[in-house]
């Protein structure tokens, strides 16, 4: 499933305009009696499910000013030729081609003693052929992985009382949240 860039942009703008109020209680300790010092925080992929979850929260009586929706845009990093020791994502382009190239070069050298052109020529042919096949396979895998992933996510904060946390968690769960957590205010 390829991500719809226009939908992501429009939904991000909608969430920023409608669910980023200056009246949101940014500190759990500053919440009023109705938002009794707790947050329920959840992460969603940027899909229609976000709007369904927010609408369900409003229908359950959560005021719009107690909702904060923050669209997160992931930076698009280009393909790296090599993984480093500190950021091994599995997205480098040359790992599989090098392995296949070395393996097929070895086979070319071994069978080159039997074939007419000799082990050196067949080793080079095997290495170049294996590298090309590995490079083609790796590009197909990376292209498929890129299409399958959704680029953007949305984080939703809900200021609420202790009595509504399970209800909000259920709404988030029913609407496909990736994860949910509760933040409690200090007890004075």
Tens digits of per-residue pLDDT, 66-105? 888 888 877 665 555 555 656 555 557 778 889 999 999 9
Strand order, beta sheet including 38-45: 67-72, 153-160, 38-45, 179-184
The answer on pLDDT for 120 being more than 60 is yes
Stretch among 57-61, 63-67, 151-155, 170-174 having the lowest mean pLDDT:
151-155
Strand residue runs (E) in the chain: 38-45, 67-72, 153-160, 179-184
Sequence-distant (6+) residues with CB within 8 A of 100 are 130, 131, 133, 134, 137
d(CA 182, CA 76): 30
Residues 131 and 38 in one domain: no
Please check whether residue 89 lies inside any domain of the structure: no
Please check whether residue 60 lies inside any domain of the structure: yes
CATH number of the domain to which 19 belongs: 3.30.70.120
The answer to pTM > 0.85 is: no
Range of the domain at 66: 5-73+151-184
Total tally of structural domains belonging to the chain = 2
């Amino acid at each position: 499933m390829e991500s719809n860039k226009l939908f992501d942009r429009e939904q991000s703008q909608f969430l920023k305009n409608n669910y980023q109020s200056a009246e949101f209680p940014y500190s759990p300790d500053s919440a009023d009696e109705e938002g009794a010092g707790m947050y329920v925080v959840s992460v969603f992929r940027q899909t229609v499910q976000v709007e369904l979850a927010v609408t369900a929260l409003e229908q359950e009586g959560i005021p719009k000013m107690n909702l904060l929706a923050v669209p997160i845009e992931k930076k698009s990093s280009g393909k790296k030729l090599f993984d480093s020791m500190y950021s091994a994502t599995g997205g480098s382009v040359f790992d599989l081609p090098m392995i296949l190239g070395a393996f097929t070069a070895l086979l070319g050298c071994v069978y080159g003693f039997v074939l007419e052109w000799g082990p050196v020529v067949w080793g080079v042919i095997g290495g170049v052929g294996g590298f090309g096949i590995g490079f083609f396979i790796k590009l197909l895998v990376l292209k498929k992985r890129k299409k399958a992933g959704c680029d953007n996510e949305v984080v939703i904060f809900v200021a609420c009382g202790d009595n509504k946390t399970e209800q909000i968690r259920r709404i988030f769960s029913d609407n496909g949240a990736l994860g949910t957590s509760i933040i409690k205010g200090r007890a004075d």
